[in-house]
Structure 1
Amino acid sequence: MTAPVAITGLGLLTPGGEHTDATWKAVCRGVGTAARDPALAGLPVDFSCRVPLTRDALDQRVGRTAWRMSRNAKLAVLAAREAVHDAGLDPATWNGDRVAVVVGCGLGADAVREEQGKRLDERGPDMVSALTIPQLVPNMAAAEVSIDLHAHGPSLAPATACASGATAIALARDLLASGQCDVAVAGATEAAITPLTTTAFWRAGTLSRRADAVTAASRPFAADRDGFVFGEGAGVLVLERTEDATARGAHVRARLVGCGSTSDAHHPTAPVPGTPGAEAALRTALTDAGLAPHDVDHVNAHGTSTPLNDAGEAAMIARVLPHRPSVTAPKGVLGHGCGAAGAVEAALTVLAIQHRTVPPIANLQAPAPEFDIDCVTGQPRQQDIRVAVSNSFGFGGHNVVLALATSS
């Protein structure tokens, strides 16, 4: 059992808003953010969930270094700045040698690859940007955050598909536990909504085709769910050892008390029938936290709105947590942020604990009849949450569950 760590800062940029409070309000409203996407015009799926910031607005907020960054790096830098400020820390005065950065991604800077490939084909080698590789490599969001925050400790960029954000947070906890840092800035980013990537997801059969009602397209745990809505965003948390946070008088939002990670080792995209890997990750997280299944009050589900994922996850929740804790699934509002999703949803779980409020699942009146889980629908539910779990599952069979608890 690893000692709990304090979560002292949050930073979010999502389709729900440009900062943490806006995203929280959006998920509590329970209205989907999907909209027609001009960049996808003419494709079989032409809608997505984007962060409501234009390129110019994003560049203005990032500042003078924006010219060299891809969109996913910019989102990560802004989320990290918000999280560090929220934690009451100042990169100008902290000991950067003791600050770690762990920022994952699932797909990386796909827009850069597509844009520069088009330049090569249409305009020749001389028109390919010299910044292509520094923008394209998947570690660059973590690197740009480290540069921006003057953080000289370990810098890692985990890529476990849609579990990347949760993996990053678990790794950050381990860095703190091993003494390799005193502060960990951890999370994930994704900005890969491009014509090619969207078409590839469509060809794989994972996207919703509900073109007649795009805001209602993402429907986690609904009987008529037909796939996810492609999203983007960034989520960053600041983690510290509890004693360090207490000593500096930090406001502790919640505690990360357990982590569980497993691999299905089964199939590139499909979960194992019966979801034994997801179950093992949940049970491992609870064991790591010194908790029993009946201690869990709330589940932030991976809830992608795809037929296979939701069915397997609902059955797993009912099997391991038969006392029916409340269940929410933010992807109904925010779409599927892929690599960023686990970090965004961990932050939202922290807020649910803090506010004693469970946001509703958008576009859901009641879960499919075969799902024996307590989905929160319609309106936010007031609930005293002592312990919550956040589930993240990714292509390749990556399963990560984070167990979070109140600050005391």
Structure 2
Amino acid sequence: MTTIVVTGIGATSPIGGTTRDSWSALLAGASGARPIEEEWIEKYEIPVTFAAQALVRPEEVLERQEVKRLDPSSQFALIAAREAWADAGSPEVAPERILVDYATGIGGLWTLLDAWDTLREKGPRRVLPMTIPMLMPNAAAAAISMHLGARAGARSVVSACASGTESIANAYEHLQLGLADVVVAGGTEAVVHPLPIAAFASMQALSKRNDDPAAASRPYDVDRDGFVLGEGAAALVLETKEHALARGARIYAELAGGSVTSDSYHITAPDPEGSGAARAVIAALEQAGATADDVTHINAHATSTPVGDVAEFEALKRVFGDRVGEIPVSATKASTGHLLGGTGALEAIFTILALHERTAPPTINLDNQDERIPLDVVTSPRALGDGPQLAISNSFGFGGHNSVVAFRSYDD
């Protein structure tokens, strides 16, 4: 098997406008959850009045024409991809050897619903001609591919909250098959909008801590009551180790393996026994040529929902057995909120940086750990040690989608 490595990372998140700012804020225990300062909260009597909105707005970074022609989800994606590409040294690669595999859970929701409002209020002639290109789920992948001149492919994954992780798992396969020399993978989401918030609240998925947003996302805590909706994007530049070394690239970590499975259980609820999720972890480790005993760190999906956190623990217990309580676990959604289709890519970057800097990031807001989830949860930055490290990042989504990626530390 060919060794695949990470040479560039980029992100715009609720806790930072760049990867480094996001990582620094994460280590400092920041929370991206804040009250939503929009008139529609009161107008529509939205029951949840806060979210983890991107800290730096796209219009502060992009050109005016880019903002006008891209849905917010694609705006975030382009910002993250540009940072990742620059971070990788802006590789000089033939366009036919650059591939984009980029994900979203929902796509251009703002564009779709704004266009519907325009149609109802002003008629069909006022609907913008760019509406369809802006709302389609592949718009982010298309925007990135056009910016980079990527002609090996522009693929899109749409598998709910597993989307970003699945795109990275796909990138591993693309490179193993020799379909490209460089792949840009990741995920984005921008749905802090009254309709999704009302819908998620209706299904009892969101935390309702309107009086204390910063403490609302509480993975593993006995008082957890749902996730915090987040927005933003992340992107990774991936290539073979041989290609990276030939051009003198800096290497953050090895992408050792990835996997995708499905529960076939329920449209929203996870399999309470965690069998599908466990198979995903095992498959990723097998692809990495590793065993459960090799894992030294876990970035958990850990949305802070009463049922989901327990189901993920059951999955991890199936894989790691009695050792499950000895592996340092970070639940970073406590800080960033849940970016849906973008969350797996952002958490993959946090996992990569944990290995690169030998530091597991903290999980905030854990005051009273649920005794049904006896994990070793990292609550302040923790050193991972000097030896070889292997970490996994888990993502699970509505529809029973499971995706896991495994990263290995890299030493020159």
Both structures adopt the same fold (TM-score exceeding 0.5): yes
Q: Which residue of 2 aligns with 1:80?
A: 81
State how far apart, in whole Å, the 2-side matches of 1:113 and 1:41 are.
19
Within a 5 Å distance, the mapping from 1:131-146 to structure 2 comes to 131-146=130-145
Q: Which residue of 2 aligns with 1:248?
A: 247
Deviation at 1:318, TM superposition (A): 3.2
In the alignment, is residue 349 of structure 1 matched against residue 348 of structure 2? no
Kindly tell me the number of residue pairs found equivalent between the two proteins.
402
Where does structure 1 differ by over 6 angstroms across 4 or more consecutive aligned residues?
Answer: none
**Alignment-mate amino acid for residue 146 of structure 2:** I
Whether the aligned pair in 2 keeps the contact of 1:62 and 1:74 (CA below 8 Å) is: no
In the alignment, is residue 149 of structure 1 matched against residue 148 of structure 2? yes
State how far apart, in whole Å, the 1-side matches of 2:58 and 2:315 are.
41
Q: Which residue of 1 aligns with 2:176?
A: 177
Whether the aligned pair in 1 keeps the contact of 2:220 and 2:366 (CA below 8 Å) is: yes
More displaced, 195-204 or 123-132?
A: 123-132
State how far apart, in whole Å, the 2-side matches of 1:65 and 1:102 are.
21
Within a 5 Å distance, the mapping from 1:315-394 to structure 2 comes to 315-321=314-320, 322-323=322-323, 324-377=326-379, 379-384=380-385, 386-394=389-397
Q: Which residue of 1 aligns with 2:219?
A: 220
Residue 399 of structure 2, aligned match among 381, 396, 399: 396
State how far apart, in whole Å, the 2-side matches of 1:404 and 1:67 are.
37
Q: Which residue of 2 aligns with 1:289?
A: 288
Whether the aligned pair in 1 keeps the contact of 2:166 and 2:259 (CA below 8 Å) is: no
Deviation at 1:64, TM superposition (A): 4.1
Q: Which residue of 1 aligns with 2:95?
A: 96
1:237 match: secondary structure:
strand
Within a 5 Å distance, the mapping from 1:290-309 to structure 2 comes to 290-309=289-308
Whether the aligned pair in 1 keeps the contact of 2:58 and 2:76 (CA below 8 Å) is: no
Q: Which residue of 2 aligns with 1:407?
A: 410
State how far apart, in whole Å, the 2-side matches of 1:348 and 1:54 are.
21
1:95-130 CA-to-partner distances (Å, cap 9, x unmatched) read 111000011000111111111111111111122111
Deviation at 1:290, TM superposition (A): 1.1
In the alignment, is residue 57 of structure 1 matched against residue 56 of structure 2? no
State how far apart, in whole Å, the 2-side matches of 1:79 and 1:393 are.
22
Deviation at 1:56, TM superposition (A): 3.1
**Alignment-mate amino acid for residue 409 of structure 2:** T
Deviation at 1:89, TM superposition (A): 2.1
**Alignment-mate amino acid for residue 47 of structure 1:** F
State how far apart, in whole Å, the 1-side matches of 2:300 and 2:57 are.
30
More displaced, 233-242 or 322-331?
A: 322-331
1:152 match: secondary structure:
coil
- In 2 relative to 1, CA 19–316 (structure 1 residues): closer, same or farther, beyond 3 Å? same
Deviation at 1:63, TM superposition (A): 5.7
**Alignment-mate amino acid for residue 340 of structure 1:** G
Q: Which residue of 1 aligns with 2:201?
A: 202
TM-score (norm 1): 0.96
Whether the aligned pair in 2 keeps the contact of 1:31 and 1:363 (CA below 8 Å) is: no
Whether the aligned pair in 2 keeps the contact of 1:393 and 1:399 (CA below 8 Å) is: yes
- In 2 relative to 1, CA 360–252 (structure 1 residues): closer, same or farther, beyond 3 Å? same
TM-score (norm 2): 0.95
Deviation at 1:54, TM superposition (A): 3.3
1:281-327 CA-to-partner distances (Å, cap 9, x unmatched) read 00111111111101100000001000111011122223422322100
State how far apart, in whole Å, the 1-side matches of 2:170 and 2:308 are.
25
**Alignment-mate amino acid for residue 55 of structure 2:** P
More displaced, 29-38 or 139-148?
A: 29-38
**Alignment-mate amino acid for residue 148 of structure 2:** L
2:157 match: secondary structure:
coil
Aligned CA-pair RMSD: 1.3
**Alignment-mate amino acid for residue 368 of structure 1:** D
**Alignment-mate amino acid for residue 277 of structure 1:** G
Whether the aligned pair in 1 keeps the contact of 2:58 and 2:67 (CA below 8 Å) is: no
1:372 match: secondary structure:
coil
- In 2 relative to 1, CA 8–62 (structure 1 residues): closer, same or farther, beyond 3 Å? farther
Deviation at 1:55, TM superposition (A): 5.1
More displaced, 250-259 or 29-38?
A: 29-38
Deviation at 1:87, TM superposition (A): 0.8
Q: Which residue of 2 aligns with 1:13?
A: 12
1:8-60 CA-to-partner distances (Å, cap 9, x unmatched) read 000010001110001101111123211111235221001000112335314xx
State how far apart, in whole Å, the 2-side matches of 1:11 and 1:224 are.
33
**Alignment-mate amino acid for residue 228 of structure 1:** F
**Alignment-mate amino acid for residue 357 of structure 2:** H
Q: Which residue of 2 aligns with 1:70?
A: 71
State how far apart, in whole Å, the 1-side matches of 2:84 and 2:395 are.
21
State how far apart, in whole Å, the 2-side matches of 1:63 and 1:240 are.
32
State how far apart, in whole Å, the 1-side matches of 2:64 and 2:246 are.
33
- Percent sequence identity over matched residues? 41
1:157 match: secondary structure:
strand
